[in-house]
Amino acid sequence: MRPVRDFGRLRHVPFLVALAGALAVRWTAVRGYPGVLWFTGDSYFYIGRAVALAPSLSKSSGYPLLLHLLEPWHSLTLVAVLQHLMGAAVGVMTYALLCRARLPAWAAALVSLPVLYDAYQIELEHLLMAEAVFTFLIAAGVTLLLWRPLGRGEAPPWWIALPAGLLIGYAVLVRSAGAPLVPVVFACLLFRRRGWRPALAFGAAAAVPIAAYATWFHSVYGEYGLTRSDGLFLWGRVAPFANCARIRPPAHEEGLCLGSELRYRNFAPGHLIWRSEAPPRQLFENVLDPQSNATLRDFAIRAIIAQPGDYWNTIMADLDKAFGTERLPLPTDATEKLYHFPAEPHTFPGGRGWGAPSSTVLSDAMRYEDGFEVSRVVPPYAGRMIAYQRDWYLPGPWLRIVFIVGAAGVLLRRGRRPEVLLVWAAGATLLLFPIASADFDYRYVVPAVPFACLAAGLAFSRRPAPAREEREDGDAGRGISRWSGIPGSLRRAKDPASAP
């Protein structure tokens, strides 16, 4: 028995080696870029809201709330380290779930490699952006939901679904793009064996942080909600194909169709909505007031209903970009460059910040860091990360294959279908919803990768053991049979069928 036990311990060595390497790469990023990397626009908003916490009309403030809690340490490096640890933890959860699903340890380690080593994942962890926290919260919630049922094919206990709901509910506040996950996970739980109680517990728990935030939002703006920008983003999604001759909108919405000049210039939706010459900016004094947002949303819904084929083709075309062989300069060339480790320190604009009324973006960052150096590039470590990113990432065609394998697992693996469906649906939702409601951005693809990999791994895992078999396997090392209550060796000796 001792060699067997020793082998059992050694089977995790490949993953531990991979994890150590992944942590070493992340530590190189921390040394090469002390503090954080900055994403033009969004990072400025997050740091400003962290030092002057308040709900926002354009983005939910769940991530600034976390930054606000970390502010007493005055360390952007601490923020980056925590986000890197969250990224590595997602890889650990992926591996642990696959091992628990009885996939061989070497195969589980192999499936976790894209999560641990993808350079764009690591760079996104180092950015002052919400994606690393967002992905970690969802992965932690999914791990709770799958951990106990993986051996039995049942829904999780309701008391496990509660914390999972809280985690995923808070993820919605970190990035509102996670909102569709709540009904998706609720449905996956509800239609499992004995699933109505955990489904209700999950839904109720997920509603708690969302309702609390909506109440906070109401105390400031007089209405319940998470943001007031969904109409603007959805208008940007449909504007490139919207045809007023087919939509026939009310007179006050006709001006929202693009003119020939803007249509010819072919701006990406995520870029178009912020341009001063865009129709919403011309028609409305404030695109984020309640009436403007409702009008933009109504126009977009009319366009989708009148032109469903164009809407579908737009989504599929953008989805194909996620699986493409090359990274395109989308939504703009300047934006895509922000997803690469830079060779020079970040240059901050001189405009007004999101903190105090007299603050600038730079002063917000300096106040949070309590220092002057808020963007540094340190050779040779920065150069190593730049070189690393050229080769170490999951190519788009491979991501397509991973999603296809997961989908095949949903269709063909009866014994694993509930688990594969939950994880694959989470990954597909994270990939599709931003494209369908706003725009394509490579930043939106990265959070879907861990769930696509996990679904593919589960598709190859062994079928769940029956409950009786699982109990006997678990007791085999102790020589005890739970159903008999006596040592297994004595039971076999008394059983005539077990005699040689």
Query: Mind listing the pLDDT tens digit for each residue in 194-239?
Result: 789 999 999 999 999 999 999 999 999 999 999 999 999 999 999 9
CB atoms closer than 10 angstroms to residue 136: 25
Same-domain status, 182 and 110: yes
Concatenate the DSSP letters of all residues of 440-482 into one string: --HHHHGGGHHHHHHHHHHHHSPPPPPHHHHHHHHHHTTTB-T
481 pLDDT band, cuts 50/70/90, is very low
6 pLDDT band, cuts 50/70/90, is very low
In a domain, 417, yes or no: no
**Which value, to the nearest 10 degrees, does the dihedral of the CA atoms of residues 437, 441, 444, 445 take?**
120
Number of domains observed in the structure of the chain: 2
Closest CA to 256 of 280, 276, 277: 280
Same-domain status, 55 and 177: yes
Same-domain status, 379 and 306: no
Same-domain status, 235 and 218: no
Please determine, for residue 62, whether its predicted confidence score (pLDDT) is greater than 90.
yes
Could you report the per-residue pLDDT of 269-308, keeping only the tens digit for each? Answer: 988 998 889 999 999 999 999 999 999 999 999 999 999 9
Identity of the residue numbered 188: C
Q: Are 378 and 34 in contact (CB under 8 A)?
A: yes
Average of pLDDT values for 359-381? 92
Average of pLDDT values for 83-110? 96
The whole domain housing 380 covers: 12-225+346-395
Same-domain status, 23 and 118: yes
Average of pLDDT values for 402-426? 90
In a domain, 400, yes or no: no
β-bridge partners, 360: 352
Question: Of 395, 416, 434, which residue sits at a domain end?
Answer: 395
In a domain, 22, yes or no: yes
The percent of residues above 90 in pLDDT, for the chain, comes to 77
- How many Å apart are CA 450 and CA 432, to the nearest integer? 15
CA of residue 53 relative to chain centroid, distance: 23
Closest CA to 446 of 98, 226, 126, 99: 126
Same-domain status, 105 and 243: no
Could you report the per-residue pLDDT of 298-324, keeping only the tens digit for each? Answer: 999 999 999 999 999 999 999 999 999
In a domain, 375, yes or no: yes
Please determine, for residue 372, whether its predicted confidence score (pLDDT) is greater than 90.
no
67 pLDDT band, cuts 50/70/90, is very high
Q: How many residues does the chain have?
A: 500
- Say which residue, 8 or 202, is predicted with more confidence: 202
Give φ, ψ of 148 to 5 degrees.
-75, -40
Same-domain status, 247 and 379: no
Tell me the whole-structure pTM to 2 decimals. Answer: 0.90
- How many Å apart are CA 373 and CA 38, to the nearest integer? 13
Average of pLDDT values for 407-414? 87
- How many Å apart are CA 93 and CA 401, to the nearest integer? 22
